Amino acid sequence: MNQIEIQIASTSKKLPSEKQFQTWVDTVLKDNNELVVRIVDCSESAVLNQRYRHKRGATNILSFPFEVPEMISSSLLGDLVICAPIIEQQAEQQQKPLFHHWAHIIIHGVLHLCGYDHLSDAEAQIMESKEIMLLKKISIRNPYQEQMPHE
């Protein structure tokens, strides 16, 4: 089982359980990896987004891969910082079940920690295909398809 440290620095009352986080991370990773999942509110997300991405405002997720120094063995992949209010807002706007959106964002972030990116169209296509396949494993539909109302 992968080791996840969950840090809750958010006032949100609609957070997934530790078991849900574990399921979503384990969907992407083989055993024996470590990562930190920090749940924050908009203020902390905005500060980190400005500091590390030079972008204003809060964002849904920030991924901070751990660069293992040479000659050191570590199973630490890095940190994910997720803004709970943004996740809730996006799920509502996109008419998706809240925890389906959480699952998607966790899987998206873990893929970033594994080296996937979406800076080019080709990279985005590869990453999105991987996300769709992994979400399907846990019975969550393609997040990039238009959803029908009341599904």
Name the residue ranges covered by the structural domains of the chain: 3-137
Looking at domain 3-137, its CATH superfamily turns out to be Metalloproteases ("zincins"), catalytic domain (3.40.390.30)
- Read off the DSSP letter of residue 116: -
Q: What is the pLDDT of residue 71?
A: 83
Instruction: Report the relative pairing of strands 34-40 and 76-83 from DSSP bridges.
Output: parallel
Q: What are phi and psi of 83, to 5 degrees?
A: -95, 105
Q: What is the pLDDT of residue 147?
A: 52
Mean pLDDT by 10 residues, the chain (151 residues): 96 97 96 94 98 97 91 89 98 95 98 92 94 97 69 37
Q: What is the pLDDT of residue 122?
A: 93
3-state SS, residue 146: coil
